[in-house]
Amino acid sequence: MNVVDACVKYQVSHLIQASTSEFYGKQEEFPITEEATPRPMSPYAVAKLAVEEYIRYVDRTVGIPYTILRPYNTYNRSNVKKKYFLIERAITQALEEGCIHLYTPEPVRDLLDRDSHVDAYVRCLDNPNVV
Protein backbone atom coordinates (compact mmCIF):
# COMPACT_ATOMS: atom_id res chain seq x y z
CA MET A 1 0.00 0.00 0.00
CA ASN A 2 2.99 2.27 0.53
CA VAL A 3 3.82 1.89 -3.16
CA VAL A 4 0.28 2.94 -4.11
CA ASP A 5 0.54 5.97 -1.83
CA ALA A 6 3.90 6.89 -3.38
CA CYS A 7 2.38 6.58 -6.87
CA VAL A 8 -0.29 9.10 -5.86
CA LYS A 9 2.21 11.41 -4.18
CA TYR A 10 4.50 11.49 -7.20
CA GLN A 11 1.64 11.50 -9.72
CA VAL A 12 2.61 8.31 -11.50
CA SER A 13 0.79 8.17 -14.82
CA HIS A 14 -0.02 4.44 -14.70
CA LEU A 15 0.21 1.98 -11.81
CA ILE A 16 0.77 -1.67 -12.67
CA GLN A 17 0.02 -4.04 -9.81
CA ALA A 18 1.61 -7.49 -9.81
CA SER A 19 -1.10 -9.52 -8.13
CA THR A 20 -1.53 -13.30 -8.19
CA SER A 21 -3.82 -15.99 -9.50
CA GLU A 22 -3.98 -17.20 -5.88
CA PHE A 23 -6.53 -14.38 -5.57
CA TYR A 24 -9.13 -16.82 -6.96
CA GLY A 25 -8.53 -19.74 -4.60
CA LYS A 26 -10.64 -22.84 -5.21
CA GLN A 27 -13.32 -22.25 -7.80
CA GLU A 28 -16.17 -24.46 -8.96
CA GLU A 29 -16.48 -23.17 -12.53
CA PHE A 30 -13.79 -23.43 -15.17
CA PRO A 31 -12.21 -21.75 -16.91
CA ILE A 32 -11.78 -19.12 -14.23
CA THR A 33 -12.68 -15.63 -15.42
CA GLU A 34 -11.85 -12.22 -13.97
CA GLU A 35 -15.43 -12.04 -12.68
CA ALA A 36 -14.93 -15.07 -10.40
CA THR A 37 -15.48 -14.40 -6.70
CA PRO A 38 -12.14 -14.04 -4.90
CA ARG A 39 -11.46 -16.90 -2.49
CA PRO A 40 -7.91 -16.33 -1.26
CA MET A 41 -6.55 -19.30 0.66
CA SER A 42 -3.27 -17.95 2.03
CA PRO A 43 -2.04 -14.82 3.81
CA TYR A 44 -0.17 -13.93 0.62
CA ALA A 45 -3.36 -14.07 -1.47
CA VAL A 46 -5.31 -12.11 1.16
CA ALA A 47 -2.63 -9.40 1.11
CA LYS A 48 -2.77 -9.21 -2.70
CA LEU A 49 -6.57 -8.92 -2.57
CA ALA A 50 -6.28 -6.13 0.01
CA VAL A 51 -3.85 -4.20 -2.20
CA GLU A 52 -6.16 -4.59 -5.20
CA GLU A 53 -9.07 -3.21 -3.18
CA TYR A 54 -6.90 -0.34 -1.95
CA ILE A 55 -5.93 0.53 -5.52
CA ARG A 56 -9.62 0.63 -6.50
CA TYR A 57 -10.38 2.82 -3.47
CA VAL A 58 -7.56 5.23 -4.37
CA ASP A 59 -8.77 5.34 -7.97
CA ARG A 60 -12.30 6.23 -6.82
CA THR A 61 -11.09 8.94 -4.45
CA VAL A 62 -8.19 10.63 -6.24
CA GLY A 63 -8.03 8.88 -9.59
CA ILE A 64 -5.05 6.84 -10.64
CA PRO A 65 -4.90 4.85 -13.87
CA TYR A 66 -4.04 1.27 -13.04
CA THR A 67 -3.71 -2.22 -14.44
CA ILE A 68 -3.79 -5.32 -12.27
CA LEU A 69 -2.20 -8.52 -13.55
CA ARG A 70 -2.89 -11.89 -11.92
CA PRO A 71 -0.40 -14.27 -13.50
CA TYR A 72 -0.48 -18.00 -13.00
CA ASN A 73 2.50 -20.25 -12.41
CA THR A 74 5.54 -18.84 -14.17
CA TYR A 75 8.38 -21.12 -15.10
CA ASN A 76 11.91 -20.26 -16.08
CA ARG A 77 13.88 -22.32 -18.56
CA SER A 78 17.18 -21.46 -16.85
CA ASN A 79 16.10 -23.03 -13.54
CA VAL A 80 15.54 -26.54 -14.89
CA LYS A 81 17.72 -28.15 -12.20
CA LYS A 82 15.78 -26.55 -9.35
CA LYS A 83 13.18 -28.96 -8.05
CA TYR A 84 10.97 -26.47 -6.22
CA PHE A 85 8.31 -25.85 -8.84
CA LEU A 86 6.14 -28.10 -10.98
CA ILE A 87 7.76 -27.50 -14.39
CA GLU A 88 11.31 -27.61 -13.04
CA ARG A 89 10.55 -30.74 -11.01
CA ALA A 90 8.90 -32.47 -13.99
CA ILE A 91 11.81 -31.66 -16.32
CA THR A 92 14.36 -32.83 -13.75
CA GLN A 93 12.45 -36.09 -13.20
CA ALA A 94 12.16 -36.70 -16.94
CA LEU A 95 15.88 -36.10 -17.45
CA GLU A 96 17.11 -38.01 -14.41
CA GLU A 97 14.53 -40.79 -14.06
CA GLY A 98 13.03 -41.09 -17.52
CA CYS A 99 9.50 -40.45 -16.24
CA ILE A 100 7.42 -37.84 -14.42
CA HIS A 101 5.71 -38.69 -11.12
CA LEU A 102 2.46 -36.84 -10.48
CA TYR A 103 0.98 -36.93 -7.01
CA THR A 104 -2.52 -36.80 -8.45
CA PRO A 105 -3.69 -35.98 -11.97
CA GLU A 106 -6.75 -33.96 -10.86
CA PRO A 107 -5.30 -30.46 -10.37
CA VAL A 108 -5.23 -28.29 -13.46
CA ARG A 109 -2.67 -25.52 -13.75
CA ASP A 110 -2.12 -22.78 -16.23
CA LEU A 111 1.57 -22.26 -16.85
CA LEU A 112 3.25 -19.14 -18.11
CA ASP A 113 6.74 -18.96 -19.57
CA ARG A 114 8.93 -16.27 -18.02
CA ASP A 115 9.34 -14.43 -21.33
CA SER A 116 5.57 -14.30 -21.87
CA HIS A 117 5.14 -13.07 -18.30
CA VAL A 118 7.61 -10.23 -18.85
CA ASP A 119 6.02 -9.43 -22.22
CA ALA A 120 2.64 -8.92 -20.54
CA TYR A 121 4.11 -6.30 -18.21
CA VAL A 122 5.94 -4.55 -21.06
CA ARG A 123 2.72 -4.39 -23.07
CA CYS A 124 0.98 -2.79 -20.10
CA LEU A 125 3.76 -0.22 -19.77
CA ASP A 126 3.44 0.61 -23.46
CA ASN A 127 -0.35 0.90 -23.32
CA PRO A 128 -1.92 2.43 -20.19
CA ASN A 129 -5.39 1.81 -21.65
CA VAL A 130 -4.89 -1.95 -21.70
CA VAL A 131 -7.65 -3.93 -20.08
Per-residue model confidence (pLDDT) at position 127: 82
According to DSSP, the β-strands at 66-69 and 111-113 are unpaired
Q: Examine residue 84 and state whether it is found in any structural domain, yes or no.
A: no
pLDDT tens column, 20-52? 999 999 999 888 899 999 999 999 999 999 999
Could you give the number of structural domains in the chain? 1
Q: Examine residue 17 and state whether it is found in any structural domain, yes or no.
A: yes
Would you say 58 and 64 are in contact if contact means Cβ atoms under 8 Å apart? Answer: yes
Query: How many residues in the chain?
Result: 131
Q: Examine residue 90 and state whether it is found in any structural domain, yes or no.
A: no
For the question of whether the overall pTM of this predicted structure is more than 0.85, the answer is no
Domain carrying residue 64 = 1-71
Structure-model confidence comparison of residues 111 and 3, the more confident one: 3
